[in-house]
Protein backbone atom coordinates (compact mmCIF):
# COMPACT_ATOMS: atom_id res chain seq x y z
CA UNK A 1 0.00 0.00 0.00
CA UNK A 2 1.53 3.34 -1.04
CA UNK A 3 1.14 6.22 1.37
CA UNK A 4 2.07 9.80 1.93
CA UNK A 5 2.74 11.76 5.12
CA UNK A 6 -0.08 14.06 6.25
CA UNK A 7 -0.12 17.39 4.47
CA UNK A 8 1.24 20.29 6.48
CA UNK A 9 -1.16 23.22 6.67
CA UNK A 10 -0.57 26.46 8.53
CA UNK A 11 -3.76 28.27 9.47
CA UNK A 12 -4.49 30.80 12.17
CA UNK A 13 -5.94 29.45 15.40
CA UNK A 14 -9.68 29.12 15.59
CA UNK A 15 -11.44 31.80 17.62
CA UNK A 16 -15.13 31.23 18.28
CA UNK A 17 -16.31 34.82 18.32
CA UNK A 18 -18.50 36.90 16.04
CA UNK A 19 -15.92 38.40 13.66
CA UNK A 20 -16.77 41.43 11.52
CA UNK A 21 -17.64 40.97 7.85
CA UNK A 22 -15.49 42.23 4.97
CA UNK A 23 -12.35 40.95 6.70
CA UNK A 24 -11.23 38.01 4.57
CA UNK A 25 -9.13 37.81 1.45
CA UNK A 26 -7.47 35.07 -0.53
CA UNK A 27 -3.80 35.72 -1.22
CA UNK A 28 -2.89 34.79 -4.79
CA UNK A 29 -0.67 37.67 -5.82
CA UNK A 30 -2.19 39.61 -8.70
CA UNK A 31 -5.20 37.22 -8.61
CA UNK A 32 -6.02 37.96 -4.95
CA UNK A 33 -9.60 38.86 -4.12
CA UNK A 34 -11.84 39.69 -1.16
CA UNK A 35 -14.39 37.38 0.45
CA UNK A 36 -17.24 39.43 1.93
CA UNK A 37 -19.33 37.66 4.59
CA UNK A 38 -22.32 38.93 6.54
CA UNK A 39 -25.35 41.13 5.96
CA UNK A 40 -24.19 42.68 2.73
CA UNK A 41 -25.05 45.80 0.79
CA UNK A 42 -24.37 44.60 -2.75
CA UNK A 43 -24.21 48.20 -3.97
CA UNK A 44 -21.49 48.92 -1.41
CA UNK A 45 -19.62 45.76 -2.38
CA UNK A 46 -19.81 46.77 -6.02
CA UNK A 47 -18.40 50.23 -5.33
CA UNK A 48 -15.63 48.82 -3.14
CA UNK A 49 -14.64 46.34 -5.84
CA UNK A 50 -14.51 49.20 -8.36
CA UNK A 51 -16.39 47.10 -10.88
CA UNK A 52 -18.22 48.76 -13.73
CA UNK A 53 -18.33 49.02 -17.50
CA UNK A 54 -20.47 48.51 -20.54
CA UNK A 55 -22.09 45.15 -19.75
CA UNK A 56 -22.85 42.93 -16.77
CA UNK A 57 -24.56 39.55 -17.16
CA UNK A 58 -26.21 37.88 -14.18
CA UNK A 59 -26.40 34.07 -14.42
CA UNK A 60 -28.99 32.50 -12.13
CA UNK A 61 -31.65 29.76 -12.05
CA UNK A 62 -35.47 29.66 -11.89
CA UNK A 63 -35.48 29.31 -8.10
CA UNK A 64 -33.02 32.06 -7.14
CA UNK A 65 -33.68 34.61 -9.88
CA UNK A 66 -37.21 35.56 -8.70
CA UNK A 67 -35.90 36.03 -5.15
CA UNK A 68 -32.72 38.03 -5.58
CA UNK A 69 -31.96 38.98 -9.18
CA UNK A 70 -33.88 42.28 -9.04
CA UNK A 71 -31.87 43.44 -6.05
CA UNK A 72 -28.56 42.56 -7.66
CA UNK A 73 -29.54 44.03 -11.04
CA UNK A 74 -30.58 47.29 -9.37
CA UNK A 75 -27.14 47.57 -7.78
CA UNK A 76 -25.36 46.73 -11.03
CA UNK A 77 -27.28 49.35 -13.01
CA UNK A 78 -25.55 52.06 -10.99
CA UNK A 79 -22.19 50.98 -12.42
CA UNK A 80 -22.88 49.26 -15.76
CA UNK A 81 -24.39 50.73 -18.92
CA UNK A 82 -26.35 47.52 -19.52
CA UNK A 83 -27.31 44.59 -17.30
CA UNK A 84 -28.71 41.31 -18.65
CA UNK A 85 -30.13 38.26 -16.89
CA UNK A 86 -29.65 34.69 -18.09
CA UNK A 87 -31.60 31.93 -16.34
CA UNK A 88 -30.00 28.48 -16.54
CA UNK A 89 -31.80 25.26 -15.55
CA UNK A 90 -32.02 24.39 -11.86
CA UNK A 91 -30.06 21.57 -10.27
CA UNK A 92 -27.02 19.46 -11.06
CA UNK A 93 -28.39 18.65 -14.51
CA UNK A 94 -27.50 22.24 -15.50
CA UNK A 95 -23.80 21.38 -15.41
CA UNK A 96 -23.70 20.09 -18.96
CA UNK A 97 -22.60 21.23 -22.42
CA UNK A 98 -26.01 22.56 -23.46
CA UNK A 99 -26.21 24.91 -20.48
CA UNK A 100 -22.67 26.13 -21.05
CA UNK A 101 -23.32 26.65 -24.75
CA UNK A 102 -26.47 28.66 -23.96
CA UNK A 103 -24.47 31.08 -21.79
CA UNK A 104 -21.70 31.45 -24.36
CA UNK A 105 -24.25 31.97 -27.12
CA UNK A 106 -26.02 34.65 -25.10
CA UNK A 107 -22.74 36.48 -24.53
CA UNK A 108 -21.96 36.38 -28.23
CA UNK A 109 -25.48 37.56 -29.16
CA UNK A 110 -25.08 40.50 -26.76
CA UNK A 111 -21.81 41.45 -28.41
CA UNK A 112 -19.98 40.94 -25.13
CA UNK A 113 -16.27 41.68 -25.29
CA UNK A 114 -13.48 41.05 -22.80
CA UNK A 115 -14.78 43.85 -20.56
CA UNK A 116 -17.99 41.95 -19.71
CA UNK A 117 -18.40 40.88 -16.08
CA UNK A 118 -20.44 37.80 -15.21
CA UNK A 119 -22.19 37.49 -11.84
CA UNK A 120 -22.95 33.97 -10.58
CA UNK A 121 -26.13 34.34 -8.50
CA UNK A 122 -26.99 30.95 -7.08
CA UNK A 123 -25.52 27.82 -5.56
CA UNK A 124 -22.54 25.70 -6.49
CA UNK A 125 -23.94 24.62 -9.84
CA UNK A 126 -24.43 28.21 -11.02
CA UNK A 127 -21.03 29.19 -9.66
CA UNK A 128 -19.26 26.32 -11.44
CA UNK A 129 -21.13 26.91 -14.70
CA UNK A 130 -20.68 30.69 -14.71
CA UNK A 131 -17.03 30.44 -13.73
CA UNK A 132 -16.29 28.00 -16.54
CA UNK A 133 -18.09 30.22 -19.06
CA UNK A 134 -16.00 33.14 -17.80
CA UNK A 135 -12.82 31.07 -18.09
CA UNK A 136 -13.32 30.19 -21.75
CA UNK A 137 -15.30 33.07 -23.28
CA UNK A 138 -12.77 35.10 -25.31
CA UNK A 139 -10.10 33.13 -23.41
CA UNK A 140 -11.12 34.60 -20.09
CA UNK A 141 -13.34 37.35 -18.68
CA UNK A 142 -14.07 38.55 -15.14
CA UNK A 143 -16.75 37.11 -12.89
CA UNK A 144 -18.03 37.57 -9.34
CA UNK A 145 -19.41 34.84 -7.11
CA UNK A 146 -22.67 35.73 -5.35
CA UNK A 147 -23.42 32.42 -3.59
CA UNK A 148 -26.96 31.92 -2.28
CA UNK A 149 -26.55 28.47 -0.68
CA UNK A 150 -24.58 27.54 2.40
CA UNK A 151 -22.62 24.96 0.42
CA UNK A 152 -21.52 27.54 -2.12
CA UNK A 153 -20.66 30.12 0.54
CA UNK A 154 -18.33 27.80 2.45
CA UNK A 155 -16.83 25.85 -0.42
CA UNK A 156 -17.48 26.12 -4.14
CA UNK A 157 -17.48 29.92 -4.46
CA UNK A 158 -13.95 30.19 -3.07
CA UNK A 159 -10.88 28.89 -4.88
CA UNK A 160 -11.49 29.20 -8.61
CA UNK A 161 -12.56 25.66 -9.49
CA UNK A 162 -15.06 25.77 -12.34
CA UNK A 163 -16.50 23.13 -14.61
CA UNK A 164 -19.24 20.86 -15.84
CA UNK A 165 -20.01 17.16 -15.54
CA UNK A 166 -19.76 14.27 -17.98
CA UNK A 167 -21.88 11.11 -17.79
CA UNK A 168 -18.67 9.33 -16.77
CA UNK A 169 -18.03 11.54 -13.76
CA UNK A 170 -18.45 14.84 -11.98
CA UNK A 171 -16.43 17.97 -12.84
CA UNK A 172 -14.30 16.17 -15.42
CA UNK A 173 -14.30 19.22 -17.72
CA UNK A 174 -13.30 22.58 -16.29
CA UNK A 175 -10.66 25.17 -15.55
CA UNK A 176 -9.09 27.03 -12.66
CA UNK A 177 -10.39 30.60 -12.97
CA UNK A 178 -10.46 32.86 -9.93
CA UNK A 179 -13.34 35.30 -9.37
CA UNK A 180 -12.89 39.02 -8.79
CA UNK A 181 -14.70 38.75 -5.46
CA UNK A 182 -17.02 36.58 -3.39
CA UNK A 183 -20.13 38.17 -1.85
CA UNK A 184 -21.63 35.79 0.74
CA UNK A 185 -24.76 37.41 2.18
CA UNK A 186 -25.94 35.31 5.12
CA UNK A 187 -29.44 36.79 4.93
CA UNK A 188 -30.20 34.90 1.72
CA UNK A 189 -29.89 31.62 3.61
CA UNK A 190 -33.24 32.34 5.22
CA UNK A 191 -35.03 31.21 2.04
CA UNK A 192 -32.92 28.08 1.58
CA UNK A 193 -34.94 24.84 1.89
CA UNK A 194 -34.05 22.69 4.89
CA UNK A 195 -32.59 19.88 2.80
CA UNK A 196 -30.33 22.29 0.87
CA UNK A 197 -29.23 23.93 4.12
CA UNK A 198 -28.28 20.59 5.65
CA UNK A 199 -26.37 19.70 2.49
CA UNK A 200 -24.31 22.85 2.99
CA UNK A 201 -23.50 21.86 6.56
CA UNK A 202 -21.74 18.77 5.21
CA UNK A 203 -19.15 21.03 3.56
CA UNK A 204 -18.80 22.98 6.81
CA UNK A 205 -18.26 19.80 8.82
CA UNK A 206 -15.54 18.48 6.48
CA UNK A 207 -13.08 21.19 7.53
CA UNK A 208 -12.87 19.87 11.09
CA UNK A 209 -11.58 16.33 10.50
CA UNK A 210 -8.99 17.39 7.90
CA UNK A 211 -7.71 20.67 9.35
CA UNK A 212 -9.10 21.88 12.66
CA UNK A 213 -10.00 19.74 15.71
CA UNK A 214 -11.05 22.86 17.66
CA UNK A 215 -13.53 23.78 14.95
CA UNK A 216 -14.85 20.22 14.88
CA UNK A 217 -15.46 20.40 18.64
CA UNK A 218 -17.13 23.81 18.21
CA UNK A 219 -19.47 22.31 15.62
CA UNK A 220 -20.41 19.55 18.06
CA UNK A 221 -21.28 22.18 20.68
CA UNK A 222 -23.12 24.51 18.30
CA UNK A 223 -24.92 22.26 15.81
CA UNK A 224 -28.30 23.03 17.37
CA UNK A 225 -27.70 26.77 16.88
CA UNK A 226 -26.60 26.17 13.29
CA UNK A 227 -29.69 24.10 12.57
CA UNK A 228 -31.76 27.03 13.91
CA UNK A 229 -29.82 29.29 11.48
CA UNK A 230 -28.62 31.49 14.31
CA UNK A 231 -26.81 34.43 12.70
CA UNK A 232 -23.88 34.50 15.12
CA UNK A 233 -23.28 30.76 14.77
CA UNK A 234 -23.56 30.99 10.99
CA UNK A 235 -21.12 33.90 10.87
CA UNK A 236 -18.58 31.89 12.84
CA UNK A 237 -19.03 28.73 10.77
CA UNK A 238 -18.95 30.40 7.34
CA UNK A 239 -16.01 32.59 8.26
CA UNK A 240 -13.96 29.69 9.64
CA UNK A 241 -14.69 27.52 6.61
CA UNK A 242 -13.59 30.35 4.32
CA UNK A 243 -10.47 31.00 6.41
CA UNK A 244 -9.38 27.39 6.05
CA UNK A 245 -10.19 27.19 2.37
CA UNK A 246 -8.44 30.50 1.66
CA UNK A 247 -5.29 29.26 3.40
CA UNK A 248 -5.37 25.98 1.46
CA UNK A 249 -5.95 27.62 -1.92
CA UNK A 250 -3.25 30.24 -1.28
CA UNK A 251 -0.80 27.40 -0.58
CA UNK A 252 -1.87 25.23 -3.53
CA UNK A 253 -4.03 27.02 -6.09
CA UNK A 254 -4.09 24.23 -8.69
CA UNK A 255 -4.40 21.22 -6.42
CA UNK A 256 -0.89 19.85 -6.74
CA UNK A 257 -0.67 18.89 -3.07
CA UNK A 258 -2.35 20.13 0.12
CA UNK A 259 -5.53 21.29 -1.64
CA UNK A 260 -6.48 17.65 -2.05
CA UNK A 261 -7.58 17.60 1.62
CA UNK A 262 -10.62 19.66 0.64
CA UNK A 263 -11.83 16.60 -1.29
CA UNK A 264 -12.35 14.64 1.91
CA UNK A 265 -15.34 12.39 1.23
CA UNK A 266 -15.58 13.52 -2.39
CA UNK A 267 -14.05 10.46 -4.08
CA UNK A 268 -16.81 8.28 -2.64
CA UNK A 269 -19.38 11.08 -2.90
CA UNK A 270 -18.79 11.86 -6.57
CA UNK A 271 -19.10 8.17 -7.40
CA UNK A 272 -22.44 8.04 -5.61
CA UNK A 273 -23.69 11.08 -7.52
CA UNK A 274 -22.66 9.70 -10.90
CA UNK A 275 -23.71 6.12 -10.20
CA UNK A 276 -27.13 6.95 -8.78
CA UNK A 277 -27.80 9.68 -11.35
CA UNK A 278 -27.23 13.37 -10.78
CA UNK A 279 -29.98 14.74 -8.56
CA UNK A 280 -30.73 11.53 -6.66
CA UNK A 281 -28.55 12.91 -3.86
CA UNK A 282 -27.65 16.52 -3.27
CA UNK A 283 -23.92 17.12 -3.48
CA UNK A 284 -23.62 17.75 0.25
CA UNK A 285 -25.56 14.58 1.03
CA UNK A 286 -23.18 12.56 -1.14
CA UNK A 287 -20.21 14.23 0.56
CA UNK A 288 -21.63 13.37 4.00
CA UNK A 289 -21.86 9.71 3.03
CA UNK A 290 -18.42 9.89 1.43
CA UNK A 291 -16.91 11.32 4.60
CA UNK A 292 -18.27 8.40 6.60
CA UNK A 293 -16.82 5.93 4.08
CA UNK A 294 -13.45 7.73 4.03
CA UNK A 295 -13.34 7.80 7.82
CA UNK A 296 -14.23 4.11 7.95
CA UNK A 297 -11.42 3.43 5.48
CA UNK A 298 -9.07 5.50 7.66
CA UNK A 299 -9.95 3.27 10.61
CA UNK A 300 -9.35 0.11 8.60
CA UNK A 301 -6.27 1.22 6.63
CA UNK A 302 -4.54 3.67 8.98
CA UNK A 303 -5.71 2.66 12.43
CA UNK A 304 -7.63 5.87 13.09
CA UNK A 305 -9.44 5.83 16.44
CA UNK A 306 -12.95 4.57 15.67
CA UNK A 307 -14.35 7.08 18.18
CA UNK A 308 -13.93 9.79 15.54
CA UNK A 309 -16.14 7.79 13.18
CA UNK A 310 -18.90 7.73 15.78
CA UNK A 311 -18.49 11.47 16.51
CA UNK A 312 -18.73 12.26 12.81
CA UNK A 313 -21.78 10.07 12.31
CA UNK A 314 -23.52 11.71 15.27
CA UNK A 315 -22.74 15.19 13.98
CA UNK A 316 -24.06 14.36 10.50
CA UNK A 317 -27.25 12.92 11.98
CA UNK A 318 -27.77 16.10 14.02
CA UNK A 319 -27.35 18.07 10.79
CA UNK A 320 -30.12 15.90 9.29
CA UNK A 321 -27.80 14.39 6.72
CA UNK A 322 -27.98 10.78 5.49
CA UNK A 323 -25.66 8.24 7.10
CA UNK A 324 -26.55 5.23 4.93
CA UNK A 325 -26.11 5.39 1.17
CA UNK A 326 -28.51 3.90 -1.38
CA UNK A 327 -27.21 0.69 -2.89
CA UNK A 328 -24.76 1.01 -5.76
CA UNK A 329 -23.18 -2.05 -7.35
CA UNK A 330 -19.71 -2.41 -5.74
CA UNK A 331 -17.84 -2.94 -9.00
CA UNK A 332 -19.58 0.07 -10.53
CA UNK A 333 -18.64 2.07 -7.43
CA UNK A 334 -14.96 1.20 -7.85
CA UNK A 335 -15.07 1.88 -11.58
CA UNK A 336 -16.44 5.36 -11.00
CA UNK A 337 -13.84 6.12 -8.35
CA UNK A 338 -11.06 5.09 -10.73
CA UNK A 339 -12.23 7.93 -12.96
CA UNK A 340 -11.75 10.43 -10.13
CA UNK A 341 -9.36 13.30 -10.87
CA UNK A 342 -7.12 12.22 -7.96
CA UNK A 343 -6.67 8.72 -9.40
CA UNK A 344 -3.25 7.87 -10.81
CA UNK A 345 -2.44 5.05 -13.24
CA UNK A 346 -5.76 3.39 -12.45
CA UNK A 347 -5.17 3.46 -8.69
CA UNK A 348 -7.75 5.21 -6.52
CA UNK A 349 -6.22 7.76 -4.16
CA UNK A 350 -8.33 8.65 -1.15
CA UNK A 351 -8.19 11.57 1.25
CA UNK A 352 -7.78 9.76 4.57
CA UNK A 353 -7.33 10.87 8.18
CA UNK A 354 -4.47 9.40 10.21
CA UNK A 355 -5.51 11.55 13.21
CA UNK A 356 -8.18 14.16 13.78
CA UNK A 357 -7.13 17.43 12.14
CA UNK A 358 -4.70 15.93 9.61
CA UNK A 359 -5.22 14.41 6.19
CA UNK A 360 -3.20 12.53 3.60
CA UNK A 361 -3.68 11.30 0.05
CA UNK A 362 -3.29 7.53 -0.06
CA UNK A 363 -3.96 4.43 -2.12
CA UNK A 364 -5.83 1.69 -0.27
CA UNK A 365 -6.70 -1.90 -1.26
CA UNK A 366 -9.99 -2.31 -3.08
CA UNK A 367 -11.07 -4.89 -0.52
CA UNK A 368 -10.82 -2.36 2.31
CA UNK A 369 -12.60 0.29 0.27
CA UNK A 370 -15.44 -2.13 -0.44
CA UNK A 371 -15.72 -2.93 3.25
CA UNK A 372 -15.94 0.79 4.03
CA UNK A 373 -18.64 1.24 1.38
CA UNK A 374 -20.65 -1.71 2.63
CA UNK A 375 -20.51 -0.42 6.22
CA UNK A 376 -22.41 2.70 5.26
CA UNK A 377 -24.63 1.51 2.41
CA UNK A 378 -27.95 -0.22 2.02
CA UNK A 379 -27.41 -3.95 1.49
CA UNK A 380 -29.97 -4.59 -1.24
CA UNK A 381 -31.09 -2.86 -4.43
CA UNK A 382 -34.36 -0.94 -4.39
293: domain CATH number is 1.20.1090.10
In a domain, 2, yes or no: no
Q: What is the value of pTM for the model shown?
A: 0.91
Final residue of a structural domain among 165, 191, 217: 191
User: Residues with catalytic annotation?
Assistant: 139, 161, 203, 245, 255, 259, 263, 266, 270, 283
Of the segments 48-52, 63-67, 245-249, 254-258, which one has the largest average pLDDT value?
63-67
Q: What is the pLDDT of residue 330?
A: 95
In a domain, 314, yes or no: yes
Q: What is the pLDDT of residue 365?
A: 95
In a domain, 15, yes or no: no
- Binding-site positions for Zn(2+) read 203, 266, 283
In a domain, 221, yes or no: yes
Question: Exposed, middle or buried: residue 334 (CB in 10 Å: 0-12, 13-18, 19+)?
Answer: middle
- Please give the radius of gyration of the chain, using alpha carbons only, rounded to the nearest integer: 20
Residues 237 and 137 in one domain: no
In a domain, 198, yes or no: no
Residues 145 and 220 in one domain: no
CA distance 133 to 117: 11
Residues 153 and 279 in one domain: no
pLDDT tens profile 126-153: 999 999 999 999 999 999 999 999 999 9
Q: What is the pLDDT of residue 22?
A: 54
Residues 294 and 322 in one domain: yes
In a domain, 380, yes or no: no
Q: What is the pLDDT of residue 382?
A: 46
Which whole-number Å values give the CA distances from 298 to 202, 227, 362, in the listed order?
A: 19, 28, 10
- Residue 350: helix, strand or coil by DSSP? strand
Residues 116 and 83 in one domain: yes
Query: Where does the pLDDT of residue 77 fall: very low under 50, low under 70, confident under 90, or very high at 90 and above?
Result: very high
Q: What is the pLDDT of residue 18?
A: 52
Say whether pLDDT at 166 is over 60. yes
CA distance 294 to 5: 17
Q: What is the pLDDT of residue 2?
A: 47
Say whether pLDDT at 70 is over 80. yes
Residues 88 and 222 in one domain: no
Residues 181 and 213 in one domain: no
- Rounded to an integer, what is the distance from CA 322 to the centroid of its chain? 18
- Rounded to an integer, what is the distance from CA 18 to the centroid of its chain? 23
Residues 182 and 224 in one domain: no
Which has the higher per-residue pLDDT, 21 or 181?
181
Q: What is the pLDDT of residue 92?
A: 87
* Contact yes or no for 150/200 (Cβ under 8 A): yes
In a domain, 18, yes or no: no
Q: What is the pLDDT of residue 342?
A: 72
Q: What is the pLDDT of residue 114?
A: 95
Final residue of a structural domain among 141, 159, 191: 191
* Contact yes or no for 290/375 (Cβ under 8 A): no
CA terminus-to-terminus distance, the chain: 35
CB atoms within 10 A of CB 257: 14
Say whether pLDDT at 351 is over 60. yes
Which whole-number Å values give the CA distances from 280 to 63, 119, 150, 287, 326, in the listed order?
A: 18, 28, 19, 13, 10
Which whole-number Å values give the CA distances from 255 to 92, 228, 248, 251, 283, in the listed order?
A: 23, 35, 9, 9, 20
pLDDT tens profile 357-373: 999 999 999 999 999 99
User: Any residues with CB less than 8 A from the CB of 66 and at least 6 apart, and which?
Assistant: none
Residues 98 and 55 in one domain: yes
Say whether pLDDT at 356 is over 50. yes
Q: Which domain holds residue 359?
A: 206-375
Residues 114 and 253 in one domain: no
The CATH number that applies at residue 169 is 3.40.50.1970
Q: What is the pLDDT of residue 198?
A: 98
Q: What is the pLDDT of residue 1?
A: 42
Q: What is the pLDDT of residue 17?
A: 64
Say whether pLDDT at 196 is over 60. yes
Q: What is the pLDDT of residue 271?
A: 95
Residues 213 and 156 in one domain: no
Residues 180 and 306 in one domain: no
- Report the number of distinct structural domains present in the chain: 2
Q: What is the pLDDT of residue 216?
A: 97
In a domain, 11, yes or no: no
Name the β-bridge partners of 360: 352
- Binding-site positions for NAD(+) read 90-95, 124-128, 148-149, 161, 170
Say whether pLDDT at 8 is over 80. no
- Residue 332: helix, strand or coil by DSSP? helix
Say whether pLDDT at 10 is over 80. no
**Among residues of the chain, what percentage have pLDDT more than 90?**
79
The mean of the pLDDT values for the chain is 92
Final residue of a structural domain among 143, 159, 191: 191
Least confident of 23-32, 345-354, 371-380: 23-32
Say whether pLDDT at 231 is over 50. yes
Amino acid sequence: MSSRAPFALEIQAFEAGSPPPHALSIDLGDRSYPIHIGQLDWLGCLAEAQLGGRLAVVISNPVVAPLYSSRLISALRTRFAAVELHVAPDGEVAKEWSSLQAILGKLADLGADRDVVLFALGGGVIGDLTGFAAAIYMRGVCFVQVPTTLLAQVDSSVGGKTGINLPQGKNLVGAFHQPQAVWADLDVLGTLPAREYSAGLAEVIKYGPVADPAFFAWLERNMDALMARDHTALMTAVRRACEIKAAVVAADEREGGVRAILNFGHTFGHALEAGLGYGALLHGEAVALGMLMATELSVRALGLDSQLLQRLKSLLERAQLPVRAPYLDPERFLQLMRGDKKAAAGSIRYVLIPVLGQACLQVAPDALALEAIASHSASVTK
